Amino acid sequence: MNSRLQSRPESEPSDTAVRSTAWLLIAVLLVAANLRGGITSLGALLDGLDGLSAGTRAFLTSLPVLCFAVVGATGMTLARRLGVHRGIGVALGLLVAGLLVRVMGDPWLLLVGTFVGCGGIALANVLLPAVVKEGFPDRVGTVTGAYSAVMSLGSAIAAGVTVPIAHAAGSWRIGLGVWALLALLALLVWVPHLRDHGYHRGGRPRVSLWREPVAWAVTLVFGTQSLFAYVVMSWLPSMYADAGFDHATAGLLLAVSILVGVPVFFLAPSFAIRASSQGHLVAVLTALLAIGFAGLWLAPVMGAWLWAVLIGVGCAVFPVALTLFSIRTATTAGTAALSSMAQSIGYLLAAGGPFVVGLLRESTGSWSLPIVLLLGLAVVQVCAGYVAGRPVVIGNPAEG
């Protein structure tokens, strides 16, 4: 009896800690569910919006990735001043505001709202790996895989249901505005975590990674995989349409490519955590991606569904890159710094990808040269992956 009574005080904090961790996981997954839906929902409705010039439509398609690059660069500063948890709160507040503003009326409000909302997504993109590093130090791979899969699934769902919602409601504003409710839910669930300042509670460590070859390799991996992802989202249906598929089938092949990646996104970070070096994993996934693009070039009709699957699986370099932010750094501050560096520079690199691919396609009248360029970038990604995958730890805090 006495031993049972003595053990109870020890078990209660443990139970509280488990509940707290579970609620943080739910909050992280809700944040992740909002990190692409606001973008893909707009893309799904863009052709049906009246009053927008061709230039405005083109600018709206490139605005998110440019915003990720520019605003993402401020993520480390925000984390150092407020902490990663409060930084996520600010990001969600911007996302809710942006999603509401963009449905209020004039085209300029659509642009402003999209910029503000994507700014919130950019900050959350940078800070979420640091939250995972701090809140789940022994489960970085599992939690990174879970939130990457949720992010991908949320992207696919938003792309698929926004148009039916708009048609059912008779208004594109409702089709887009409904995603503000999901962002608001994430913000409300995140409110209890605003009390946690994050990694700077014992000071404000500054981390410099600009002279670290491994940090630049991680940045290059993130940039090339982002470029591949945006090329796939922008041009994969067109590649299939040019091969003779109708637009509905081409869109379905893109959806298959996205959805088949969801379970792989979940599993890949766990493989990355268990591996002594992540270079082989990056190489295998990149090889599958390259085979998919080569197949599209050489036999687009015969192996259409196989190429879509291989490209979707190969895009799982994304969650592996997110995992590298945590396992290559010793502290939460280091994770935030590497995430900010890799995402700001990486998305800036990725922003030109769809434009260059489209320009090459337009000037040559063929997908051959664009795909050759992508295959060359796959080689670069493999080489960078072996450097980024070296089992070293970088980013120790510096004084100042």
Residue 276 forms part of a structural domain = yes
Residue 281 forms part of a structural domain = yes
**Window from 159-168, 189-198, 297-306 with minimum mean pLDDT:** 189-198
**Gap between the Cα atoms of 279 and 333, Å rounded:** 24
Out of 65-69, 135-139, 188-192, the most confident range is 188-192
Domain end among 156, 187, 204: 204
> Could you say which DSSP state residue 243 is in?
T
Residue 345 forms part of a structural domain = yes
Higher pLDDT, 75 or 268: 268
The pLDDT of residue 7 is above 50: no
The pair phi, psi for residue 329, each rounded to 5°, is: -125, 150
Looking at the structure, tell me whether residues 214 and 126 fall in a common domain.
no
Residue 1 forms part of a structural domain = no
Q: Give the 3-state secondary structure of residue 104.
A: coil
pLDDT in tens, 16-26: 778 888 999 99
Residue 86, domain CATH:
1.20.1250.20
Helix-, strand-, coil-residue percentages of the chain, each rounded to 5: 80, 0, 15
Q: Residue 339 — pLDDT band, cuts 50, 70, 90?
A: very high
pLDDT of residue 397: 61
> What is the CB neighbour count within 10 angstroms for residue 55?
8
Looking at the structure, tell me whether residues 295 and 216 fall in a common domain.
yes
Is 66 buried (19+), middle (13-18) or exposed (0-12) by CB count in 10 A? middle
If one counts the domains in the chain, the total is: 2
Looking at the structure, tell me whether residues 325 and 198 fall in a common domain.
no
Higher pLDDT, 11 or 271: 271
Looking at the structure, tell me whether residues 197 and 51 fall in a common domain.
yes
- Work out the end-to-end distance of the chain between its first and last CA atoms, rounded to an integer number of angstroms: 55
Residue 218 forms part of a structural domain = yes
pLDDT in tens, 344-372: 999 998 888 888 888 898 899 899 999 99
Looking at the structure, tell me whether residues 160 and 305 fall in a common domain.
no
The pLDDT of residue 4 is above 70: no
Looking at the structure, tell me whether residues 90 and 143 fall in a common domain.
yes
Alpha-carbon radius of gyration of the chain? 21
Residues 6+ apart with CB under 8 A from 259: 153, 156, 312
Looking at the structure, tell me whether residues 225 and 352 fall in a common domain.
yes
Taking alpha carbons only, the member of 209, 194, 191, 222 closest to residue 333 is 209
Residue 108 forms part of a structural domain = yes
Domain end among 145, 178, 204: 204
Is 31 buried (19+), middle (13-18) or exposed (0-12) by CB count in 10 A? buried
Residues 6+ apart with CB under 8 A from 6: none
pLDDT of residue 206: 64
pLDDT of residue 136: 93
Looking at the structure, tell me whether residues 200 and 215 fall in a common domain.
no
Looking at the structure, tell me whether residues 275 and 324 fall in a common domain.
yes
Left (φ > 0), alpha (ψ -120 to 50) or beta: where does 329 sit?
beta
Residues 6+ apart with CB under 8 A from 355: 62
Could you tell me the two tokens for 277? 């070096």
Looking at the structure, tell me whether residues 153 and 293 fall in a common domain.
no
> What is the CB neighbour count within 10 angstroms for residue 57?
13
pLDDT of residue 345: 94
pLDDT of residue 176: 92
Block residue for tokens 């660069």: 73
Looking at the structure, tell me whether residues 178 and 267 fall in a common domain.
no
Is 365 buried (19+), middle (13-18) or exposed (0-12) by CB count in 10 A? exposed
The pLDDT of residue 82 is above 50: yes
**Gap between the Cα atoms of 188 and 167, Å rounded:** 29
Residue 47 forms part of a structural domain = yes
Could you tell me the two tokens for 316? 């799982």
Looking at the structure, tell me whether residues 182 and 217 fall in a common domain.
no
The pair phi, psi for residue 244, each rounded to 5°, is: 115, 0
Alpha-carbon distances of 70 from 12, 75, 169, 314, 351, rounded to whole Å: 45, 10, 35, 27, 11
Domain end among 140, 172, 204: 204
Sign of the C-alpha dihedral computed for residues 281, 284, 287 and 293 taken in this order: negative
Domain that holds residue 234: 208-393
Residue 9 forms part of a structural domain = no
